[in-house]
Amino acid sequence: MGGKQARGDEWTADDAALWNTVVIAGELDARRVPAHRTGTSFALQPGEIAFVGGPFALDEWRADGDGSYQQSSTFAFGGPAFVAGALIGTAIGNSRRRSNARWAATPMWRPGFAGWVIVTNRGFHLSTDHANLFWNWESISQIDVVGRGQLVMFGESTGGPVRWMIRTGWAELVFVLWAHQQHPDHPQYRGRGWLHPAWPEWAAHMGHPLPDGVLHGQPSGRSELT
């Protein structure tokens, strides 16, 4: 995270989200339940507290095929030129189908879905037009912040293991809450590698200084957010 740019021309919604993430991280360091609250259009679990919400989009590391494809054969009748042309056309079509099948069978980042993320003390909800997907912290085995507002997570879903790249202004907060609960020794959490070291100074320059004390000390060990 040290190589990303901390400066910009204006204060954005993502900057506001990061500012609040730093504040919430400070509250966790002080072993306090974060004071932030947001409303939801869906019912929360007993004891679940919704902290913040915002838009998200995600990509999924996956293959979209198994490498198989339907090969065409040609039976052409006519003059030599016509027959040759038909055979060449079939060969080109088969080559394209083979290339497309190979590409579909190659695991890579592929477009997933988008919607609204709600971050809570228990995990996070991904609300879309079709469903509300809830991920609790225990279902996630690894999270790494890979860029400003971007994280990569490995988790165990009801359909099996997934690897997602999630882009949201609250990516850093998802990481902080997960690491606080599940992996307080994560190097990015322990060393605050999720936050560009020049960003707090830039935020103050933009008229948004962080409260005194929120960046002092080291992150605390695991504590219950209930």
What average pLDDT does the structure give for the chain? Answer: 86
Lowest mean pLDDT among 44-48, 72-76, 185-189, 208-212: 72-76
Give the pLDDT confidence of 48-97 residue by residue, as tens digits.
999 999 999 999 997 775 656 566 654 445 556 544 555 566 656 556 66
Give the pLDDT confidence of 18-44 residue by residue, as tens digits.
999 999 999 999 999 999 999 999 999
As a whole number, mean pLDDT of residues 170-179 equals: 98
Q: Which residues contact 127 (CB under 8 A, 6 or more apart)?
A: 41, 42, 115, 116, 117, 118, 133
For the beta sheet containing 150-157, the strands, ordered from the edge strand earlier in sequence to the opposite edge, are 132-136, 123-127, 108-120, 50-62, 160-167, 150-157, 140-147
As a whole number, mean pLDDT of residues 10-23 equals: 97
Please indicate, yes or no, if residue 161 is contained in any of the structural domains: yes
State the total domains in the chain. Answer: 1
Please indicate, yes or no, if residue 99 is contained in any of the structural domains: no
Helix (H, G, I), strand (E, B) or coil at 159: coil
Domain of 200, in residue numbers:
13-63+111-205
The Cα–Cα gap between 138 and 86 comes to 58
Please indicate, yes or no, if residue 223 is contained in any of the structural domains: no
- Per-residue pLDDT at 72: 60
CATH number at residue 31: 2.30.29.30
